[in-house]
Structure 1
Amino acid sequence: MTINTSSSASPASPRRRGTLTFIRDVIIILVLALIASFLVKTFLVRSFYIPSSSMEDTLQINDRILVNQLVPEVSAVHHGDVVVFTDPGGWLTPRAQEDPGPIQWFFEVIGLSPSDSDNHLVKRVIGLPGDNVMCCNTLGQLVINGEAIKEPYVKLPANTTKVSSIDFDIIVPKDSLWVMGDNRYSSQDSRYHMDQPGGGSIPMDNVVGHAFIITWPLNRLTILDSHSGIFPTSDSGSDSE
């Protein structure tokens, strides 16, 4: 008589090993995906939400945007770029920090949720280092290096064509930018901080990156236009030594 010495569990063992291998592979893929997302968020692209109306109608409250973080270290800043930057000091009213909770914090860290924008601002680059920016000429336009520009993105009150309620005539310092909101009469931008260090210009080091696309809501999915053609032909500051 032949005695079968095989364990009754033996036929199931390959299946269990296959399941464990599959679970292990899925975990490895998820970990690698999270690491890749973290690296992209840290070094390449970052998501922000828009908390104010200062850039209307280009950007609306609660829009989500992607920001190219290779600017300005790898890719130069140009006239008309929409940039996100950290508060250079005194631009934002201090607010109590809200605890986002562990889940929200985790998704922000790995780049799957828009970053908290409480310490960041978004404006359009109007002046580069060395530029003479003046407002306004007799037609109510900005003048950059002696050349008047027509700004199609500007939102103005119905009763005016003057693109700034504050007159100014400045030279942008070295390694700095003069920035303004598209919603000109509802933007606390460079004009409102001319009494601070830098004369209202922001340090280039404060620039997080160049916003290049609206990703949410889906009906506003749009590539952001720098309108570079309306500005003086030479970007005098960012590219030059």
Structure 2
Amino acid sequence: MDQTKRQPGRPGWRFALLAVLAAVLVSGLIRSLWLDVYYIPSASMEPLFGTGDRILVSRTAFQSEPIRRGDVVVFDGRGSFAPLNSGEGRLQEAAAAAGHWLGVTGSDTTYVKRVIGLPGDHVVCCDAGQRLTVNGQPLVEPYLYAGDAASTQKFDVTVPEGRLWLLGDHRSVSADSRSLLGAPGGGMVRADRVIGSPVQILWPLDRFASVARLPLAATSTTKDGQ
């Protein structure tokens, strides 16, 4: 009687699955250590970033040189901009985290703003020319959204050690350090909460462009009385 030879199972799907898992692991490692992708959910950083932009963020940008006044930073806002507990269930939090990781939704705890005040800086709104001042010197702010005032909300703050004073470029729609003046911490964000620096707009393609770091935003880099 003829015996039919048993055909070995095709292992192709196993290799494909392993390749996918390896790609996910490598991507996760890269995004946790070097580069990550973030979705811009609002207009608070226009004209630099628009709603729906996907940006590439370097996690190592500030390892070789310090954060400077005028830098744009992506940061974890928990404990300052965002509540410590969102009140969402675990399933909702997992879905939100997945959407954030895939770059299709924003994060309730991750923000992008511009550094206006460094530790020790005295930041005031506003001088006679309706400009912000840092350590008594007016800021030159070419990045402001056209038609926006430097700020319509008055403030006079001194940034503590280890903290940052952060504002959006589209000041009239940005919820930033000014919005938290009466809250614990006074709108100051811990410098160790900074995740990294945006280096590239990835999407939409018609906005594909690198993001350059600006020079120091103040006309003077000295502290008051120095």
TM over 0.5: yes
**Deviation (angstroms), 1:95:** 7.7
Note the C-alpha offset of 1:71.
5.2
CA distance in 2, matches of 1:26, 1:227: 44
- In 2 relative to 1, CA 174–220 (structure 1 residues): closer, same or farther, beyond 3 Å? same
Where does residue 48 of structure 2 map in the other structure? 58
Number of residue pairs matched?
A: 220
Structure whose residues are more often helix by fraction: 1
Aligned counterpart in structure 2 of residue 80 of structure 1, from 70, 73, 77? 70
Task: Give secondary structure in 1 for the equivalent of 2:60.
Answer: coil
| AA matched with 2:195 | V
- Tell me, yes or no, if structure 1 residue 207 matches structure 2 residue 183: no
Partner of 1:149: 139
Q: Pick closer, same or farther for the CA change 1:229–1:86 going to 2, 3 Å.
A: closer
The answer for the alignment partner of 1:198 in structure 2 is 185
1:86 touches 1:208 (CA, 8 Å); kept in 2?
Answer: yes
The answer for the alignment partner of 2:150 in structure 1 is 163
Q: Displacement, 1:231? A: 3.1
Residues 101, 176 of structure 1: alpha-carbon distance in 2 compared, 3 angstrom cutoff:
closer
1:140 counterpart = 2:130: yes
Q: Distance in 1 between matches of 2:98 and 2:88?
A: 20
CA contact (8 A) 1:88 1:202 kept: no
* Kept after mapping to 2: 8 A contact 1:88/1:203: no
CA RMSD of aligned residues (A): 3.3
Which one-letter code corresponds to 1:177 in the other structure?
A: L
> What secondary structure is seen at the aligned counterpart in 2 of 1:138?
coil
Bigger shift: 117-126 or 68-77? 68-77
Structure 1 residues 150 and 118 mapped into 2: Cα distance closer, same or farther (>3 Å)? Answer: same
How far residue 92 of structure 1 moved from its aligned partner, in angstroms, is 4.8
Question: Could you tell me how far apart the structure 2 residues matched to 1:106 and 1:189 are?
Answer: 26
1:225 positional shift = 3.1
Q: Is the CA contact (8 Å cut-off) linking 1:71 and 1:208 kept in structure 2?
A: no
Distance 1:235 1:95 in 2: 43
TM-score (norm 1): 0.75
**Alignment CA distance shift 1:235-1:221 (3 Å):** farther
CA offsets, 1:154-209, max 9 Å, x none? Answer: 1154xx6x411012221111111000010111111111211223222111132222
How far apart, in 2, do the equivalents of 1:235 and 1:215 lie? 36
Task: State the match for 2:21 in structure 1.
Answer: 31
Structure 1 residue 24, shift from structure 2 partner? 5.6
Structure label with greater radius of gyration: 1
